[in-house]
């Protein structure tokens, strides 16, 4: 039986590519920077863990060659140097960081997944070492273990944060980015490109787009998203060759691409192993990694999206953190609170605090406390100002003026560094607010909400949140909603800690505060 020559040539070319990849293909620029980052993280982890464990041992046990004893299987072993156990802990810790995929380039520089993995791995290592010491009857100093693991974990998180800052700076300089080629309908392609442009700096660099159906390619030579133009190419030619010509490493099939399953499989078969990859977008926006799972069923890679929900243990952990942190905060900054209260009172003789009804968890109304930063007749002058001044940044829901005449001289400084929001710690303590959460809106704002915006009320509003660390008052209404909904639907404890850390920088920089 004769074999179709074209089919045989394609099969041979695919087989040859696979054989070449097994022999080790020449590294592409993307492979180069990925190996560079992974190698630097591995070296950094080694230095951090080694210093944390050894320095803790020295601080706890001194410089001497302390020995430990063990009685496994009722046979006592004595005279073993403590450094043996220390080296064992370091080896187990570093191995766990590698096995736990904490250096996976797909999670670097993105959300809190990287930090969560590092913290989770460190906790598991602590548990493993504790169990081995207990069942093996190894005389490890408890104080040494209790100090080494928290110190090492915090040091690892700080190290990863510094590397993330460096990586993001590289993205800003258009370095170490993945070139992507996006295919789909015009609506789905535009949505993905728009989201990538908003999330700047992004690890993805869009080099071109294409219509999923080559017979309906009516987009023109380019599409424009947020003022940037992207070339439109045709899929009539071989996709792998097209990507190679464009310099793209990743093909993204946008949600709603409407390609037959057979066509998608053919495209995936044509890509060069270890050099080109296929990413299929589910079309669902605003979903964090913690809510996603891939479930292969009957050969179908199904993406499972968990509904947004906070479990009872998670709620307890968040509330406990809020109570402890707000209580300690009030005690520590009580002199500052008293000083600000005195300054506000002496400035114009008006009330020290400004109380305003806001909408919180489940749509309930509560009174939010702030240091008064406006004149006492600010609310009465609001209607007049709305007629005289248009809202900044095209914001038709939130009324924000960069030079609001209602703000007092003292209030400008309080707002610049967010000192006027410090009394909200009492709201956190009484349970009406959280340290981190969506922005607490006014009732008049809620009445203008679209139906989908009400999902933000599944969690308590916060003193700070994604809206504050991503621009504060400079944000448009659409971006403010997007950040609030993303937080409410993808809450994690590690994410809260990350936002609190970023809040300090945002407050010190006073960007978007008015």
φ, ψ for residue 103, nearest 5 deg: -110, 20
- Please report, for the chain, the start and end positions of each structural domain, with discontinuous segments joined by +: 29-172, 177-305, 312-509
How far is the C-alpha of 267 from the C-alpha of 245, rounded, in Å?
Answer: 16
How far is the C-alpha of 336 from the C-alpha of 345, rounded, in Å?
Answer: 14
DSSP state of 344: H
Q: Are 132 and 164 in contact (CB under 8 A)?
A: no
- C-alpha closest to that of 212 among 194, 242, 244, 234: 234
Q: Which two tokens stand for residue 241?
A: 């060759």
- C-alpha closest to that of 142 among 223, 61, 64: 61
How far is the C-alpha of 215 from the C-alpha of 434, rounded, in Å?
Answer: 53
Q: Name the residue with tokens 């691409």.
A: 257
How far is the C-alpha of 418 from the C-alpha of 430, rounded, in Å?
Answer: 21
Report the pLDDT value the prediction gives residue 505, as an integer from 0 to 100: 73
Residue 365's beta-bridge partner residues? 359
φ, ψ for residue 294, nearest 5 deg: -95, 125
- C-alpha closest to that of 206 among 169, 164, 257, 243: 243
pTM of the model: 0.69
How far is the C-alpha of 293 from the C-alpha of 307, rounded, in Å?
Answer: 12
Residue 86: other Cβ atoms inside 10 A: 21
Q: Are 340 and 369 in contact (CB under 8 A)?
A: no
How far is the C-alpha of 122 from the C-alpha of 132, rounded, in Å?
Answer: 15
How would you write the pLDDT of the chain (514 residues) with one tens digit per residue? 444 444 434 444 444 443 333 333 333 456 677 888 889 999 999 999 999 998 988 887 776 555 666 565 555 566 667 778 888 899 999 999 999 999 988 888 877 788 989 999 999 999 998 888 878 777 777 777 888 899 999 999 999 999 998 998 888 888 888 899 998 888 888 888 888 887 767 888 899 998 877 666 567 788 888 888 899 888 777 888 888 888 898 999 887 667 777 888 888 888 888 788 888 887 777 777 777 777 777 777 777 887 777 888 889 999 999 999 999 999 999 999 999 999 999 988 888 999 999 999 999 999 999 999 888 776 666 666 666 665 554 445 555 666 677 788 888 888 888 899 999 999 999 999 999 999 898 888 888 888 888 889 999 999 999 888 876 656 677 778 888 888 888 888 888 988 998 887 767 655 555 4
Residue 357's beta-bridge partner residues? 367
What 3-state DSSP class applies to 96? helix
Report the pLDDT value the prediction gives residue 317, as an integer from 0 to 100: 92
How far is the C-alpha of 489 from the C-alpha of 297, rounded, in Å?
Answer: 26
Report the pLDDT value the prediction gives residue 332, as an integer from 0 to 100: 95
Q: Name the residue with tokens 């970023």.
A: 502
- C-alpha closest to that of 318 among 161, 121, 469, 500: 500
Residue 51: other Cβ atoms inside 10 A: 14
Q: Name the residue with tokens 């899929």.
A: 235
201: preceding bond cis by omega (within 30 degrees): yes
Residues 6+ apart with CB under 8 A from 282: 255, 303, 305
What 3-state DSSP class applies to 98? helix
φ, ψ for residue 342, nearest 5 deg: -65, -40
Sign of CA dihedral 388, 391, 392, 393: negative
Report the pLDDT value the prediction gives residue 450, as an integer from 0 to 100: 85
- Look at the domain 177-305 and name its fold: Rossmann fold (3.40.50)
What 3-state DSSP class applies to 509? helix
Residue 183: other Cβ atoms inside 10 A: 24
Residues 6+ apart with CB under 8 A from 493: 314, 317, 318, 321
């Amino acid at each position: 039986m004769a074999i179709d020559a074209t089919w045989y040539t394609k099969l041979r070319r695919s087989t040859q590519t696979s054989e070449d990849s097994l022999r080790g293909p020449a590294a592409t620029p993307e492979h180069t920077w990925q190996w560079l980052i992974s190698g630097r993280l591995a070296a950094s982890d080694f230095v951090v863990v080694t210093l944390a464990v050894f320095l803790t041992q020295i601080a706890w046990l001194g410089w001497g060659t302390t020995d430990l004893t063990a009685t496994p299987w009722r046979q006592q072993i004595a005279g073993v140097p403590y450094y043996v156990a220390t080296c064992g802990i370091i080896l187990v810790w570093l191995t766990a960081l590698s096995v736990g995929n904490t250096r996976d380039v797909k999670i670097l520089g993105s959300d809190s997944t990287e930090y969560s993995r590092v913290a989770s791995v460190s906790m598991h290592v602590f548990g493993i070492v504790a169990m081995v010491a207990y069942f093996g009857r190894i005389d490890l100093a408890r104080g040494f273990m209790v100090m080494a693991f928290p110190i090492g974990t915090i040091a690892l998180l700080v190290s990863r944060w510094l590397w993330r800052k460096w990586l993001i700076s590289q993205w800003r300089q258009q370095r170490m980015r993945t070139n992507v080629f996006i295919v789909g309908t015009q609506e789905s392609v535009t949505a993905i490109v728009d989201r990538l442009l908003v999330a700047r700096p992004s690890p993805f660099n869009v080099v071109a787009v294409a219509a999923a159906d080559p017979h309906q390619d009516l987009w023109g030579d380019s599409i424009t998203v947020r003022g940037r133009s992207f070339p439109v190419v045709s899929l009539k030619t071989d996709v792998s060759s097209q990507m190679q010509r464009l310099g793209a490493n990743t093909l993204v099939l946008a949600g709603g691409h409407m390609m037959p399953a057979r066509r998608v499989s053919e495209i995936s078969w044509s890509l060069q192993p270890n050099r080109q990859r296929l990413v299929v977008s589910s079309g669902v926006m605003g979903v964090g990694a913690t809510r996603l799972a891939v479930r292969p069923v009957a050969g179908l890679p199904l993406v499972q999206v968990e509904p947004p929900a906070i479990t009872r243990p998670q709620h307890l952990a968040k509330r406990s953190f809020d109570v402890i942190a707000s209580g300690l905060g009030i005690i520590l900054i009580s002199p500052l609170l008293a000083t600000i209260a005195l300054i506000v009172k002496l400035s114009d003789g008006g009330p020290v605090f400004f109380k305003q009804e806001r909408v919180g968890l489940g749509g309930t109304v509560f009174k939010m406390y702030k240091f008064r930063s406006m004149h006492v007749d600010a609310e009465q002058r609001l209607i007049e100002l709305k007629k005289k001044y248009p809202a900044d940044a095209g914001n038709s829901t939130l009324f924000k003026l960069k030079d609001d005449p209602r703000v007092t001289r003292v209030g400008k400084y309080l707002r610049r560094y967010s000192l006027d929001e410090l009394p909200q710690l009492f709201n956190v303590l009484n349970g009406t607010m959280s340290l981190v959460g969506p922005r607490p809106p006014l009732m008049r704002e809620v009445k203008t909400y679209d139906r989908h915006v009400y999902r933000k009320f599944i969690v308590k509003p916060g003193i700070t949140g994604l809206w504050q660390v991503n621009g504060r008052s400079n944000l448009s209404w659409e971006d403010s909603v997007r950040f609030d909904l993303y937080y409410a639907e993808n809450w994690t404890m590690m994410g809260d800690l990350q936002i609190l850390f970023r809040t300090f920088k945002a407050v010190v920089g006073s960007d978007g505060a008015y």
